[in-house]
Amino acid sequence: MWLNVVLASFLLLEAAAHIPLATKHTPLKRHHLTVDNSTGQEIRVPYFNRVFARGHLTNQQKKVLEGKRNATSAQAADSLKAKQKTPYDRYDPAPAARCLTQLQSPCGPSCACGAGSFCDKASGTCQCKKGLCGVSTGNCTSQMSQRMKFDFRIAPKLRRKAFLRALQTYPAPWTDKDPEQISSPELRFVDGWPDDTQHNAIWSPLIQPGTQESMLLSTWIAWEFKPPHVLDLNSTPPYQPIMAPLKAAGQAEWRIELSGVRQVLLRHVRTGRYLSVAGDHPPAGLGMGLLQATRKPQELTLESSPAPIARAVFDLWPPYAIDQLQEQGNLRQLQPEDFEDASATLVADEPDCDKKPSAKGGASTFTIWVSILSACGILMIMQR
């Protein structure tokens, strides 16, 4: 009898002091976990979801928590939407480069400027009219260049783990040095995958309007320079690749040509030469291959070649960058004529624009009159 009384009292006390099974202090059990379909990992179910499932809240409490959950979801959605913006939506490292008013084309009595431009006698080069932007063809257009919404890394096919970097001192505002004391970026290959924060190896293309195959190439940090420094070729032999200050349209544009499955060539528009590498050659035979295997790999250097050779083939990483360029029409297909007389291709000298134009047919007016008078004199002599 006393045992029944004790058991009944214990049951009454437990019912009076009942605590919900799902509270913040309840140990996490298996049924409090769910699986993330995207990663396959188990995640904790939010507290209010577990409470709703067990029905320990009144309707009024459920409405209050539901309102808080909706507000939290809306804030999270806005925050996610803001994070999904690309850096190009928020920041352009060189907005002035999108519209270059100065042209590389010289002008003078014998050199006419392209459409939408005029001859600036002070500089001896063509310049775009007000409101127009220059392109690599020497013409000017009302459209501005567009920065692509993706970046890429550049590595040669001969050594795919070596990535092209433009090493330099960080420009202002990241340094206190005088801008005149900061040297131009130095092009160099560095082994190892560049992180997203290593902006001296992340190349950002700027596509010119009207000539969608022409683009300016530079790293994120080099775009910060005043003026920006871009990938270019020296104007004198051997036309060494350099990072040069961007001064005019038609100076440093490149065309990316597709040479194979996700393999490209970089062709300089102004000179017609290809970016290539030197210092690392494939083995000539088994003995040479074993000998090279015991040696330290040679340092890769950049050079330019007049022909699309094997040392001029590069990879762009990530590979979808090539797909994006091809979809948007920014890739040029390699043509058979690109290989014709490639070894004899030379960069044309700049025309002498100060030379006075000759008359039609290549002879001056004075020369024509001298020829006519001479012919008349000969006829008179023959008649005598």
Whole-number Å distance between alpha carbons of 221 and 151:
13
Q: Cα torsion at 172, 178, 183, 187 (round to 10°)? A: -10
pLDDT at 148: 86
The whole domain housing 51 covers: 22-83
Residue 101 lies in a domain: no
Does any domain span residue 371?
Answer: no
For residues 334 and 256, what is the distance between their CA atoms, to the nearest angstrom?
9
- Residue stretches of the chain with pLDDT short of 50: 18-31, 47-48, 50-55, 80-81, 83-88, 90, 283-294, 341-347, 359-364
- Please check whether residue 223 lies inside any domain of the structure: yes
In this structure, are 185 and 323 located in the same domain?
A: yes
**Could you tell me if residue 291 is inside a domain?**
no
CATH number for position 329 = 2.80.10.50
Find out whether 103 and 248 touch, Cβ atoms under 8 Å.
Answer: yes
Q: Please choose, from the candidates 87, 95, 90, the residue with its C-alpha nearest in 3D space to the C-alpha of residue 227.
A: 95
Q: Are residues 175 and 72 in the same domain?
A: no
Rg over alpha carbons for the chain, rounded to the nearest Å, is 35
Are 66 and 198 in a shared domain? no
Residue with tokens 């960058």: 321
In a domain, 139, yes or no: no
Query: Cα(375)–Cα(369) distance, rounded to whole angstroms?
Result: 10
Q: What is the pLDDT of residues 300-358, one digit of tens each?
A: 899 999 999 999 999 999 988 888 888 888 888 776 666 664 444 444 556 667 665 55
Closest CA to 154 of 281, 241, 272, 247: 241
Contacts of 310 (CB under 8 A, 6+ apart): 157, 158
Residues 155 and 79 in one domain: no
Q: What is the number of domains present in the chain?
A: 2
Let me know if residue 357 belongs to a domain. Answer: no
Q: Which residue has the tokens 């560095």?
A: 190
* 107 within domain boundaries: no
Supply the pLDDT for residue 290.
Answer: 45
Q: What integer pLDDT is reported at residue 37 of this predicted model?
A: 52
**Domain assignment of residue 192, yes or no:** yes
Q: Which of 83, 99, 123 represents a domain boundary (last residue)? A: 83
Measure the CA–CA gap between 375 and 280, rounded to whole angstroms.
Answer: 67
